[in-house]
Structure 1
Amino acid sequence: MKVVIIGAGMIGMHIARELIDERRDVVLVEKDPEAARRASDALDCMVINEDGSRPETLRKAGASDAEWFLALTGSDEVNIVACGLVAAESSSVKTLARVENSFYSSLSAAQRRAFGLHVIINPASATADAVAHIVDEGFAEDVIPLHDGRLQLRTVAAASVPAFVGKTLREAKAGAGGGVLVAGVVRGRGMVVPGGEFEVEPSDILYLLGTPATLDAFLGQVEGVKSAAKRVLIIGATSIGERLVERFLDRSKSGFLGRIFGRKRLVTVLESSAEDGKRIARAFQGLEVIHGDSSEEGVLEGAGIGKADLVVCATESQAFNVMTAQLAKELGAKKAVAITLNDRYMSVGSRLEVDALVSVKGVVAAAVLETVRRANIKTIHGFYEDDVELVELRIDSGSRVSGLSLREIDLPKGVLVAFVMQGDEMIVPSGSTILNGSDVIGLVSRKKSIAGLERVFGDQRGV
Structure 2
Amino acid sequence: MYAVIVGAGEVGFHIATILSQEGHEVAVIDRRRESTERASQELDVLAVLGNGASRRVLEQVSMGRADLLVAVTDSDEVNMIACMAAKQVGVPQTIARVRNPDYIEDKRTLSTGFMGVDHVIQPEAAVADEVVKLAGIPGALDVETFAHGQVLVVEVQAAPSSPSLHTPLRGLKLPPGVLVAAVLKVGGEVVIPRGESALEPGDRVFLSGVPGGVVAAAATLTGQKETPKRAILLGCGEIGMAVARSLEEKRVKLTVFEKDAQRAAEAAAALRRSLVLADEGIDENVLAAEGVADSDLFIAATGDDRLNILTSLLARQMGARRTIAIVERTEFSRVVESVGVDVAISPRRMTASAILRFVRSGRVLSAAVLDKAAGELLEFEVGPTSPICDRSLADVDFPSGAIIGALVSGSEVHIPSGRSLVKEGDLAVVFTLPRSVREVERLFSPRTAR
Normalising by the smaller structure, the TM-score range is 0.7 to 0.9
Q: Conserved in 1, the CA contact under 8 Å of 2:55 and 2:89?
A: no
Other-structure match for 1:242: 241
Q: Which amino acid aligns with 1:370?
A: R
Query: In structure 2, what is the Cα distance between the partners aligned to 1:13 and 1:356?
Result: 23
Other-structure match for 1:209: 207
Distance 1:449 1:188, change over 3 A: same
Q: Conserved in 1, the CA contact under 8 Å of 2:350 and 2:368?
A: no
Other-structure match for 2:367: 379
Other-structure match for 2:349: 362
Deviation at 1:32, TM superposition (A): 1.0
Q: Conserved in 1, the CA contact under 8 Å of 2:376 and 2:434?
A: yes
> Is 2:2 the partner of 1:14?
no
Q: Conserved in 2, the CA contact under 8 Å of 1:21 and 1:448?
A: no
Distance 1:110 1:455, change over 3 A: same
Query: In structure 2, what is the Cα distance between the partners aligned to 1:215 and 1:289?
Result: 32
Other-structure match for 2:444: 457
Q: Which amino acid aligns with 1:239?
A: E
> Is 2:312 the partner of 1:314?
no
Q: After the TM superposition, which residues 296-315 of structure 1 pair with which residues of structure 2 at under 5 Å, given as runs? A: 296-315=283-302
Q: Which amino acid aligns with 1:27?
A: A
Deviation at 1:206, TM superposition (A): 6.0
Deviation at 1:423, TM superposition (A): 5.1
Of the three residues 388, 395, 402, the one matched with 1:408 is: 395
Q: Conserved in 1, the CA contact under 8 Å of 2:233 and 2:300?
A: yes
Q: Conserved in 1, the CA contact under 8 Å of 2:377 and 2:429?
A: yes
Query: In structure 2, what is the Cα distance between the partners aligned to 1:218 and 1:122?
Result: 29
Query: In structure 2, what is the Cα distance between the partners aligned to 1:63 and 1:387?
Result: 35
Q: For residues 276-312 of structure 1, what are the alpha-carbon distances to aligned partners after superposition, in whole Å with 9 as ceiling and x for unaligned? A: 3345445556654312232234222344434444432
Other-structure match for 1:35: 35
Of the three residues 163, 166, 169, the one matched with 1:162 is: 166
Deviation at 1:415, TM superposition (A): 2.4
Q: Conserved in 2, the CA contact under 8 Å of 1:420 and 1:427?
A: yes
Other-structure match for 1:130: 130
Secondary structure of 1:392 counterpart: strand
Q: Which amino acid aligns with 1:235?
A: L
- RMSD of equivalent CA atoms: 3.8
Deviation at 1:154, TM superposition (A): 4.4
Q: Conserved in 2, the CA contact under 8 Å of 1:30 and 1:50?
A: yes
Distance 1:192 1:138, change over 3 A: closer
Secondary structure of 2:233 counterpart: strand
Secondary structure of 2:44 counterpart: coil
Q: Conserved in 1, the CA contact under 8 Å of 2:177 and 2:413?
A: no
Q: For residues 239-259 of structure 1, what are the alpha-carbon distances to aligned partners after superposition, in whole Å with 9 as ceiling and x for unaligned? A: 32233334445xx2xxxx3xx
Query: In structure 1, what is the Cα distance between the partners aligned to 2:342 and 2:186?
Result: 24
Other-structure match for 1:100: 99
Q: Which amino acid aligns with 1:41?
A: Q
Q: Which amino acid aligns with 2:350?
A: V
How many residues of Structure 1 are paired with residues of Structure 2 in the alignment?
436
Other-structure match for 1:167: none
Q: Conserved in 1, the CA contact under 8 Å of 2:386 and 2:445?
A: no
Other-structure match for 1:168: none
Deviation at 1:347, TM superposition (A): 4.8
Query: In structure 2, what is the Cα distance between the partners aligned to 1:113 and 1:455?
Result: 38
Deviation at 1:191, TM superposition (A): 1.6
Deviation at 1:202, TM superposition (A): 5.9
Distance 1:225 1:322, change over 3 A: farther
Distance 1:383 1:377, change over 3 A: farther
Q: Conserved in 2, the CA contact under 8 Å of 1:321 and 1:339?
A: yes
Query: In structure 2, what is the Cα distance between the partners aligned to 1:330 and 1:116?
Result: 50
Query: In structure 2, what is the Cα distance between the partners aligned to 1:416 and 1:360?
Result: 26
Q: For residues 201-223 of structure 1, what are the alpha-carbon distances to aligned partners after superposition, in whole Å with 9 as ceiling and x for unaligned? A: 96783636365659978995755
Distance 1:64 1:243, change over 3 A: farther
Other-structure match for 1:328: 315
Distance 1:225 1:150, change over 3 A: farther
Q: Conserved in 2, the CA contact under 8 Å of 1:145 and 1:151?
A: yes
Query: In structure 2, what is the Cα distance between the partners aligned to 1:202 and 1:435?
Result: 33
Q: Conserved in 1, the CA contact under 8 Å of 2:180 and 2:208?
A: no
Q: Conserved in 2, the CA contact under 8 Å of 1:112 and 1:118?
A: no
Deviation at 1:9, TM superposition (A): 0.4
> Is 2:68 the partner of 1:80?
no
Secondary structure of 1:367 counterpart: helix
Q: Which amino acid aligns with 2:18?
A: E
Q: Which amino acid aligns with 2:138?
A: F
Query: In structure 2, what is the Cα distance between the partners aligned to 1:38 and 1:245?
Result: 37
Distance 1:115 1:32, change over 3 A: same
Other-structure match for 1:56: 56
Of stretches 276-285 and 71-80 in structure 1, the one that deviates more from structure 2 is 276-285
Q: After the TM superposition, which residues 66-77 of structure 1 pair with which residues of structure 2 at under 5 Å, given as runs? A: 66-77=66-77
Q: For residues 166-193 of structure 1, what are the alpha-carbon distances to aligned partners after superposition, in whole Å with 9 as ceiling and x for unaligned? A: xxxxxx5488799875533445633243
Q: Which amino acid aligns with 2:165?
A: V
Deviation at 1:228, TM superposition (A): 5.1
Other-structure match for 2:89: 89
Deviation at 1:373, TM superposition (A): 2.1
Query: In structure 2, what is the Cα distance between the partners aligned to 1:151 and 1:54?
Result: 41
Other-structure match for 2:423: 436
Distance 1:175 1:115, change over 3 A: closer
Q: After the TM superposition, which residues 162-201 of structure 1 pair with which residues of structure 2 at under 5 Å, given as runs? A: 162-164=166-168, 173=170, 181-187=179-185, 189-194=187-192, 196=194
Query: In structure 2, what is the Cα distance between the partners aligned to 1:415 and 1:179?
Result: 19
Deviation at 1:342, TM superposition (A): 3.8
Secondary structure of 1:190 counterpart: coil
Where structure 2 has 5 or more consecutive residues not aligned to the other structure, the ranges are: none
Q: For residues 112-140 of structure 1, what are the alpha-carbon distances to aligned partners after superposition, in whole Å with 9 as ceiling and x for unaligned? A: 564311112222222112212223x4222
Of stretches 148-157 and 30-39 in structure 1, the one that deviates more from structure 2 is 148-157
TM-score by length of 1: 0.80
Q: Which amino acid aligns with 2:280?
A: D
Deviation at 1:30, TM superposition (A): 1.1
Query: In structure 2, what is the Cα distance between the partners aligned to 1:282 and 1:106?
Result: 24
Q: Conserved in 1, the CA contact under 8 Å of 2:157 and 2:221?
A: no
Query: In structure 1, what is the Cα distance between the partners aligned to 2:342 and 2:444?
Result: 36
Secondary structure of 1:298 counterpart: helix
Q: Conserved in 2, the CA contact under 8 Å of 1:342 and 1:360?
A: no
Q: Which amino acid aligns with 2:404?
A: V
Distance 1:439 1:154, change over 3 A: farther
Distance 1:205 1:281, change over 3 A: closer
Distance 1:209 1:316, change over 3 A: closer
Query: In structure 2, what is the Cα distance between the partners aligned to 1:59 and 1:457?
Result: 33
Q: Conserved in 2, the CA contact under 8 Å of 1:394 and 1:438?
A: yes
Deviation at 1:338, TM superposition (A): 1.5
Query: In structure 2, what is the Cα distance between the partners aligned to 1:217 and 1:189?
Result: 24
Of stretches 39-48 and 121-130 in structure 1, the one that deviates more from structure 2 is 121-130
